[in-house]
Chains A and B, each alone.
Chain A
Amino acid sequence: MKQWRFFLPLAVFAAFAGLAAYQLNQPKDEFVQSAMIGKPVPAFAMRAASPDRPGLTQADLADGRPKLLNIWASWCVPCAAEAPQLAALEAQGATIVGVAIRDRPEDVAAFLARYGNPYARIGADDLSELQLSIGSSGVPETFVIDGKGVIRYQHIGDVRAEHVPLLLDELRKAGG
């Protein structure tokens, strides 16, 4: 009976249909995370928050290279605490772009001078518009954005030493 091989395509299709049906009926997101994960960052454009780094636009997040998007502010204490971890991430090849929330240029400059500047670009989010639109509720937060500008992962709170490999891993999964 070699007829069975003609049923192979049906078997493959049945496997796919089962999987798809399972996924469709899966409640999305059982744990708390941004509803924006898996979605592209909405259109935005921000002026530079610091004179020595360019500002940030949506197109910068969709240039083919995955990135970390770090939401921070000079007035935020945990942000100072996570600075060494961001430096470590940068040293290990991660591209980090910053979004400074409700900040003044001179304060940003002072913060960066004191804690180091791991950012390739820093946009100024004066009204927290971008922050709200990508589902972030506080500072600091770090998002993994893939090369097409789609949000892949959200890390809430400061980045601690144990999170560095995790973020690098997420970045690699996003195509880095």
Chain B
Amino acid sequence: MIAELGLAALWLAAALAALQLVAGVLALRSAGSDIAALVRPAAVVQGFLTTFAFAMLVWLFARTDLSVKLVAMHSHSIKPMIFKLAGAWGNHEGSMLLWITVMSAAGALIALAERRLPERTMLATLAAQGFVALGFYAFLLLSSNPFERLPVPAFEGNGLNPLLQDIGMAFHPPTLYVGYVGLSVAFSFAVGALVTRQVTPDFARAMRPWVLGAWIFLTLGITAGSYWAYYELGWGGWWFWDPVENAALMPWLAATALLHSVGVLAARDALRAWTIMLGVVAFSMSMLGTFLVRSGILTSVHAFAVDPERGTFILALLAIYIGGALAVFGLRAGSVAEGERFAPVSREGALVVNNVLLSAILGVVLLGTLYPLMTEAFGVRVSVGPPYFDPVGAIFFMPMMVVMAIGPFLRWRRDRLARVQSPLILAGIVALAMLALALALATPRVLPLLGLAVGAGLAAASLLALRGRDVRRLPLATWGMVVAHLGIAVAVMGMASESAFTKERLAALRVGEAATVGPWEVTLQEVTPVAGPNWNAIEGVMIARYADGAPRRLAPQARSFWAPPTETNESALETRWNGQLYAVLGKAADGGRWQVRLWWKPFVTLIWYGGVMIALGGLLALIGRVRADLKRRTVQRKAAERREGMAS
């Protein structure tokens, strides 16, 4: 009964999405018609229904209802409860349901909360949102029904991929999805504004919190995902330029560019067509990622639900939505005038350069990700990896960090570089000092050196932007910018330090023997079997000593899961302020020895601290913007009341 309730709710929600689209379009055609009144309620009820359907699916997983195909395929009665729940979205059908749930919840939220958009743009936006949702309902209901019953209930479930049986992985996909789908709102806004030709600063101010919100979740999701890849895969790396990883990075790059250009549009009424374009591109990248991950068109270490038929369905959705939006863009962008002019050396100028560089990085990543697809059309199989992405990405990223350092010092519209040179010279000195320090410690390669130097310079410049300003009266949005830019600097320094100074040691140790890696001495104390709820493991207890410090206990495991039978490596980490010791237990070697893999990674944690800071910066900016907005609205309302009072 639960499954049928969920399915019924989904069909109903799909019907409401259709109503939302049709009513919106009709209302736009005949202004002032009553049918416009249907659009908002349709969006709200639709959001409620999908949330209900999603709750039903989670309930089915909580009860391990093995008469439902999806549960039998992806769950198991002996799984811990938290992973039973996570199993609901740890698969293709469930994650698509999560996708549509977030999307229609966002639509409901716009319908309820958004009061700044002109009514016609609002109708067009909700109609667009309904249109996009409709495609995903079709995909879900026609080809990926999560509530499908088995003819005969299964005796026992298949289990959840053990790599996903990790608390980080339980929450990483929903976080990322809120981000991806949040961008669908930006997409609908962009289409709505194109349809009504109202690309104004007010429109940008209405769109900005949505972009900010999606961007915060994307940032958090990517940060969590990279930390998960780092500790769970047992490879000791945090980014592999895998197609799936790129699929998350590309929308983030587009959203970051959009965030900055929407700011220019809100503040200065410039970059109109460009902002709209980025709004379309950002969500397109989310959808493209979905397509690449699920169609099996590219091979990936993380790919799942690979199925060419589903791939064709998603490709059709891409063609309709992205193709459609880009066609409307082509027809209408010319009639959206470019807006205010500005000098090249100005805040706008810096933001435009930032946008161009971000777009270039996006292009580089997109090209690298799709390149194997292109060459395969000519019968050549290639794999594109770090040797391409690292240097080519850095060519654009390093200058972008320099622009990020300069931009915040510049005034809107017109400025002179001479006016802002003193803090920049200071930041340059910090960068050179870091370069000298890094060269004194090791002789790493060019890219890590540059990363350390430019990162330090950007950190200094970001803090110097606060100099001479009353920090108590600084707007929250400015704080947000400072914290986010500082976060970028911190993350980049973490990445550079990791690749410059990491020490690796592979040893075969008998119990009682020790190995050294960097400043650590690690002794293998014992190797014991341990059992978990649905796995058993060999655990290697190690005692690690940093220089002459106190001993630390590490217990990496080699786990074997029963359902499905899989082996995973649970690494053990010892974190100090200046880096992490990373230990993996390998297999038994000959002569009673055990393979042990050790890494000392100086300042590697800065990567994720940086990521969290970037998201925190976004959150501060979001709070600041929303508060300023509420204040402005209160002032306007009071002014209106006063006018009415005087009139009467």
Residue numbers of A with Cβ under 8 A of B are 3, 6-7, 9-10, 13-14, 16-17, 19-24, 37-40, 43, 45-48, 51, 54-55, 57-59, 62-64, 146-150, 152-153, 173-175
Interface residues of B in 312-344 (CB under 8 A from A): 312, 315, 318-319, 322-323, 326-327, 329-331, 333-334
What are 15 of the A-B contact pairs (CB < 8 Å)? A3-B330, A3-B334, A6-B330, A10-B323, A10-B329, A10-B330, A13-B323, A17-B323, A20-B315, A22-B377, A46-B587, A59-B235, A149-B301, A150-B301, A175-B386
How far is A21 from B299 in the complex, measured between Cα atoms in Å?
Answer: 16
Residues of chain B lying within 8 A (CB to CB) of residue A14: 323
Most B CB within 10 A of own CB, among A23, A37, A51:
A23
Which parts of B326-374 form the interface with A (CB within 8 Å)? 326-327, 329-331, 333-334, 370, 373-374
Given contacts A19-B370, A48-B589, A59-B234, could you give 6 more A-B pairs where the C-beta distance is less than 8 Å?
A9-B277, A17-B323, A43-B566, A51-B590, A54-B589, A62-B233
* Chain A residue at minimum C-beta to C-beta distance from B335: A3
How distant is A19 from chain B, measured CB to nearest CB, in Å? 6
In Å, the complex CA distance between A10 and B319 comes to: 10
B387 touches A175 (CB 8 A): yes
Q: Select B273's contact among A6, A54, A150, A174, beta carbons within 8 Å.
A: A6
Count of inter-chain pairs, beta carbons less than 8 A: 116
A6 touches B590 (CB 8 A): no
Tell me, in angstroms, the Cα distance from A3 to B323 when the chains sit together.
17
Contacts of B377 in A (CB 8 A): 19, 22-23
Give 7 closest A-B pairs by Cβ, nearest first: A7-B330, A38-B299, A10-B326, A6-B333, A45-B587, A43-B567, A175-B385
Q: Which of B280, B301, B373 contacts A19 (CB 8 A)?
A: B373
If A10-B329, A13-B322, A59-B234 touch, does A20 touch B297 (CB 8 Å cutoff)? yes
Q: Are B301 and A54 in contact (CB under 8 A)?
A: no
Selected contact of B240 from candidates A24, A45, A148, CB within 8 Å: A148
- Docked-complex contact B595 and A54, CB < 8 angstroms: yes
> Is B308's beta carbon under 8 Å from chain A?
yes
Q: Interface size class for chain B?
A: 35 or more
Residue B610 CB within 8 A of the other chain: no
The residue from A10, A47, A64 contacting B327, defined by CB atoms under 8 A apart: A10
> Is B569 on the interface with A (CB-CB < 8 A)?
yes
* Chain A residues near B591 (CB-CB < 8 A): 51
Q: Is the interface of A mostly helix, strand, loop or mixed?
A: mixed
Question: Who on chain B is nearest to A56 by CB?
Answer: B587
Q: Assuming A21-B315, A24-B311, is B329 touching A9 (CB within 8 A)?
A: yes
Closest beta carbon of chain A to B500's beta carbon, Å = 16
The chain A residue with its CB closest to the CB of B366 is A16
User: What residue of chain A has the Cβ atom nearest to residue B374's Cβ?
Assistant: A19
Q: Kindly state whether residue B191 has any CB partner on chain A within 8 Å.
A: no
Query: Are B385 and A146 in touch, CB under 8 angstroms?
Result: yes
CB closest residue in chain B, given A22: B377
A55 near B589 (CB under 8 angstroms)? yes
Chain A residues lying within 8 Å of B508, measured Cβ to Cβ, are: 54
What is the chain B residue whose CB lies nearest that of A15? B374
Q: Which residues of the other chain, A, contact B273 by a CB distance below 8 angstroms? A: 6
- Tell me whether A57 and B587 are in contact (CB under 8 A): yes
Q: How far in angstroms is the closest Cβ of chain B from A100?
A: 14
Question: Complex formed: what's the CA distance from A146 to B597 in Å?
Answer: 20
- Name the interface residues of B427-476: CB closer than 8 Å to any CB of A: none
- A55: which B residues are within 8 A, CB to CB? 587, 589-590, 595
Q: Which residues of A contact B297 (CB under 8 A)?
A: 20, 23-24
Chain A residue with Cβ nearest B326: A10
B569 near A47 (CB under 8 angstroms)? no
Q: Is B588 an interface residue (CB 8 A)?
A: yes
- With a cutoff of 8 Å between Cβ atoms, the chain A residues found around residue B334 in the complex are 3, 6
Contact indicator per residue, chain B 107-142, by CB within 8 Å of chain A (1) or not (0): 000000000000000000000000000000000000
B566 touches A40 (CB 8 A): no
Expressed in whole angstroms, the Cα–Cα distance for A45 and B370 within the complex equals 33
Q: For the complex, give the distance between the alpha carbons of A175 and B386 in Å.
A: 8
Q: Is the CB of B299 within 8 A of A39?
A: yes
CB distance from B330 to the nearest CB of A (A): 4
Shortest B235–chain A CB gap in Å is 5
Which residues from chain B contact A20 at a C-beta distance below 8 Å? Answer: 291, 295, 297, 315, 373
